[in-house]
Structure 1
Amino acid sequence: MFPYCTDPSTLEGLSWLSCYLTTDKHMMLFYSVGTVLLLLAITAPAALMFGFFGATAAKSPFFPLRWLGKIYISVVRGVPDIAFFLFFVIALDQGFEWIRHKLKCPDWSEPIRQGNDFVVCSVAKLPLGDAPQWVHEVYGFALAVLTFAIVFGAFAANVLFGAMRAVPHAQMETAYAYGMSKRQAFWRVLVPQMWVYALPGLSNLWMVLIKATPLLFLLGVEDIVYWARELGAAKTPRFTEYPHPDWRMWYFLGLLVFYLGFTRVSEIALERLMKRLSHGQATAAGEAQRRAQA
């Protein structure tokens, strides 16, 4: 990175440290921070969408749809997250390849399941064997995002389902008395008011989602935990130009500071959002705001 980094063996002190922290592998560590933030930026609204549809289905008067919504919430919430993360990535990957295999290789005569192997034709592979490396990385990241969205969407669905039930039923009856249909009352009365009841639960879910990002390592994505462990391990002069003892404690301490700082910023943002949503609402927080303004 710097001109004086050509011969690390001649460097000492801050010069050595500046060159060490700007190596290609450390650039991958900094890049992985962006990967985690991108995961959160995509997964949060995706999980909220899954949760909204799951909660709406669980509240539906149509029995099969209500049954599916409640099964989705109960099954995902009742299984350890790590089991679902490991299962969904394999299941989704093989499911996509199976569909492509049926479409692209209809004349295939061999069984797809051959013992413990899952064998499809070469053109059905995802990604293709000759695809660039960035395609493999994007595909793995997309599977991780979808898995996170499905798992955390079930928790969001449970929170939103409870929030929908917390909206006073008298307000729905008033909407019907004014001539609104069930659809109109749902979108104009229930949905706008449920967020103030849902936000505390969604806030906790957001914090859990932040803490769950190290599971990316289990899904094959090189995240900050992977690079912290890789870079912090002891290095000898035989394998690197920047030898050092075991520094994993310092790297993981840096991760601790990163996550604590990020969660603190999230707490401040969520607290301000809660105040905004509570304004004018018939809740304890809304009543406290009215008394403060009086």
Structure 2
Amino acid sequence: MFSYCTDPATLDGLTWLGCYLTTGKHMQMYWAFGTVLLLLAITAPTALAFGFAGASAARSNVAPLRWFGKTYISVVRGIPDIAFFLFFVIALDQAFEFLRHKVKCPDWSEPIRQGNDFVVCTAAKLPLGNAPQWVHEVYGFLLAALTFAIVFGAFAANVLFGAMRAVPRGQLETAEAYGMNRRQTFWRVLVPQMWVYALPGLSNLWMVLIKATPLLFLLGVEDIVYWARELGGAKQPRFTDYPHGDWRMWYFLALLIFYLCFTKLSEVMLDRLMTKLTHGQATAAGEAQRKATA
């Protein structure tokens, strides 16, 4: 990156380290931190939307919807996360290709399942075989993000379902007594009040989601864990201009510091959000605020 980095063999000390940390591969590692943040930015609201839909379905008066919501919550929560992550990436990819196959190749006569192979027409492939490399990478990342959202959406649904049940029944009965129908009571009374009960559980879920981001590495996405392993491993002079020993401990230490700082920042922001949500609420936290200001 720097002009004096043209011949690494002539460098030493901090100059060598500065050139080493600004190589092209290290720049890709720094971009991978953005990949983790982007995953969280996409997954968190999507999982919350899935969770809200699942919780609403679980308390529905319509039996099929109620069964679907409770099944979604129970099945995903009852199976190890890693199994679902590995399953959904493959299942979603094949489902998308199957739907495209039915639309783009209606005259296809051969079976799609051929032994252990999943075969669709060329036009139905996702991405297309001649697509640029970045398209393949973006598609793999979006599949991973959707998988994260589905899995963590089930946990969010369980938290929101409990929060909805925690809202005092008297609040809902009062709303009904004032003439509100079921839909109005749900959106105007239940939903605004449930967040204060849901936030502790959602806060824990957010922390778990942050700690689960290294699973991107297992899903084929070149994230910070991938680059820490690749760059930290021992490098021999014949294979690189910057040979070094096994430095994986230092790379993973940097990841530990990053995650600790990020979770600490999250705790501060979540505490402020809880303070805002509980202000004036008839809860233990709201009562503590009233006593503090009295």
TM-score, with normalisation over the residues of structure 1?
0.99
The corresponding residue for 1:109 is: 109
- Greater alpha carbon shift after TM alignment, 104-113 vs 74-83: 104-113
Task: Work out the CA distance in 2 between the residues paired with 1:218 and 1:244.
Answer: 26
Q: Distance in 2 between matches of 1:103 and 1:63?
A: 33
Which residue of structure 2 lines up, in the alignment, with residue 272 of structure 1? Answer: 272
Instruction: Give the Cα separation in 2 of the matches to 1:92 and 1:173.
Output: 43
Deviation at 1:245, TM superposition (A): 0.2
2:53 alignment partner in structure 1: 53
SS where residue 219 of structure 1 aligns?
coil
User: What's the counterpart of residue 210 of structure 1?
Assistant: 210
- Give the structure 2 partner of residue 246 of structure 1: 246
The within-5 A match list for 1:174-185 is: 174-185=174-185
Alpha-carbon distance between aligned partners in 1 of 2:271 and 2:102, rounded to the nearest angstrom:
50
Task: State the partner residue of 2:191.
Answer: 191
Residue in structure 2 matched with residue 26 of structure 1 by the alignment:
26
Alpha-carbon separation, structure 2, partners of 1:152 and 1:268: 22
Describe the superposition over 1:213-240 as per-residue Cα deviations: whole angstroms up to 9, x where unpaired.
0000111110000000000000001100
2:277 and 2:289 map into 1 onto residues whose CA distance is 11
C-alpha separation between the residues in 1 aligned to 2:293 and 2:256? Answer: 40
Shift of 1:102: 1.0
List per-residue Cα deviations over 1:243-293 (Å, max 9, x = no partner): 000000000000000000000000000000000000011100000001111
For 1:106 and 1:60, how far apart are their aligned partners in 2? 38
Tell me which residue corresponds to 1:42: 42
2:205 maps to a residue whose letter is L
For 1:226, the aligned partner's letter is Y
Structure 1 unaligned spans of 5+: none
Amino acid at match of 1:86: L
Dislocated runs of 4+, deviation >2 Å: none
Instruction: State the identity as a percent.
Output: 81
Letter in 1 for 2:219: L
RMSD across aligned positions (CA): 0.5
Query: For residue 291 of structure 1, what is the aligned residue in structure 2?
Result: 291
Give per-residue Cα distances to partners, 1:36-55, cap 9 Å, x unaligned. Answer: 00000110000000000000
Residue-pair matches, total: 294
Q: What is the letter of the counterpart of residue 85 of structure 1?
A: F
Work out the CA distance in 2 between the residues paired with 1:55 and 1:214: 28
AA partner of residue 28 (structure 1): Q
TM-score, with structure 2 as normaliser = 0.99
Task: State the shift of 1:167 in Å.
Answer: 0.2
Equivalent in the alignment of 1:63: 63
Distance 2:237 2:176 in 1: 77
Q: Letter of the 1:97 partner, please give it.
A: E
- 2: CA distance between counterparts of 1:240 and 1:111? 48
Q: Distance in 1 between matches of 2:208 and 2:32?
A: 19
Displacement of 1:106: 1.2
